[in-house]
Every structure is written in structure tokens, then in C-alpha cells.
Amino acid sequence: MAHSADQIYTELAETLLDWQAAHALGTEAVGTLQDGLSELTGADGREADLAAAVSLADKAPSPGLAAFIARGGAPRADAGIAARLSKAMATLADVRVRLRLLLERFLAAVGELEQVAGLSGGNEHGERELNGAGADRALLAAALADGLEHEMLLMEKGLGAVTLDMPLAELAALQFFWAQQPFLDDAAVAEFYVAGKVP
């Protein structure tokens, strides 16, 4: 059964909303990882704590201080932190699969919209040509699809590198790029929703 351009555009808008929701879960999970790993490594003020512990251990030795010093000043692993990290890693894996499925759904709908709108594959310069009513919305959807594909590549490369022993600076960079969505133009996304009358 053939769908109208409006029906397809509504499906695209709903898919994009689902993408944004899944993306927000991923952003939150990367932040949880960064916070949890920071807590585990005790990155803030570890040297001062370790120096104070060594000084105190010389005056009043104890097994707890000895263990703290042996860990290099890192706090003891906490079951709550470990559970949060595990949940964040599982969430990221789920988000990755979900975003891939949403991208595939979006691309299929864009292809259908291009056919309905009469959008041709392009001229000798690779530029797409407008041939039918609604082709402007199809062009906008195609541009967003290209951005989503680039976002997916960035996420897959970044998420593929996430481990619990990765440097905090790398995780912070991943969180920054994840949150920014550098390949999606906010104005184009807003125009897409307006054109599809999505709140």
C-alpha cells in the first residue's frame, strides 16, 4: 500500500523524535560513565590524599591506610559505582542498537518520500533535482538522513572504544561530541518538525 507524502513525513518526524530520545539516553549514560570512573579513580585531589595518608601511616599505621596507599590513593571499589557503570555500559549497548534501527527506518522512509515527491537521484554534478510537489521536504529529509548517518558513524567509533579503563579525558571528549551532534543542524531539525507540523 502506497503512503502519501504527509504520512511518510509524519513517520520520519516520529522516527527523528525517537532518535533524539534514544540519543538523550546515550548522553546520560556517557555522563554516568564519566562520573563513575572519576569516582573510582579518585581523579580529583588524589595526590594530596595519598600524601596525607602516607604521612598519617608513618605516625599511626593501620591496615586500612596501608590498603589505601597500595591502591595509589584510589578509593575502594564501591558496589554502587560498579552497578551504575555496568548499567551505563548496558544502556550504551542498547542505545547503539536502537539508533542503528532508527537510522535504517529513517533511510527507508526517506527513499519512499523521494519516490513519492518525484525527487531524482541527481544531475551530472551530483545535485538532486526537484520534480514534484513536496520535493523540498524530501530534500530536507535527505539532508537530515545524511547527518544521521554521519552521527551514527561517529557514535559507533566512539562507543566501540568505550571501556572502563579508558582515560577520563577521552571519555569527556566522547561525551562532548555525543552531546553536540555535530552532523545535525539544529535549525534544519527545527524546520523539519515545523514542515511536518510536529510539536
Distance CA 193, CA 13 (A): 6
> Do the domain assignments include residue 69?
no
Whole-number pLDDT of residue 106: 96
What is the count of structural domains for the chain? 1
Distance CA 156, CA 97 (A): 10
Q: Is 32 within 8 Å of 90 (Cβ atoms)?
A: no
Q: Give the amino acid at 142.
A: A
DSSP string, 47-75: HHHHHHHHHHHHHS--HHHHHHHHTTTPP
DSSP string, 99-149: HHHHHHHHHHHHHHHHHHHT--S--TTS-----STTHHHHHHHHHHHHHHH
> Do the domain assignments include residue 82?
yes
Distance CA 55, CA 57 (A): 6
Q: Which residue has the higher pLDDT, 64 or 80?
A: 80
> Do the domain assignments include residue 71?
no
**What b-and-e string marks burial along 26-41, b requiring 16 or more CB atoms within 10 Å of the CB?**
bbebbbbbbebbebbb
> Do the domain assignments include residue 30?
yes
> Do the domain assignments include residue 65?
no
- Residue 128, domain extent: 5-42+78-195
Q: Is 31 within 8 Å of 175 (Cβ atoms)?
A: yes
Whole-number pLDDT of residue 197: 65
Closest CA to 107 of 6, 7, 180, 16: 16
Whole-number pLDDT of residue 162: 81
Least confident piece of the model among 22-31, 65-74, 165-174: 65-74
| Secondary structure letter of residue 1 according to DSSP | -
Q: Which residue has the higher pLDDT, 66 or 113?
A: 113
> Do the domain assignments include residue 50?
no
> Do the domain assignments include residue 54?
no
> Do the domain assignments include residue 52?
no
Closest CA to 82 of 24, 30, 26, 33: 33
Q: Is the pLDDT of residue 63 over 90?
A: no
Distance CA 111, CA 1 (A): 15
pLDDT in tens, 117-127: 776 555 555 55
Q: Which residue has the cell 591502591?
A: 71
Mean pLDDT, rounded, for 23-34: 91
C-alpha cell at 165: 579503563
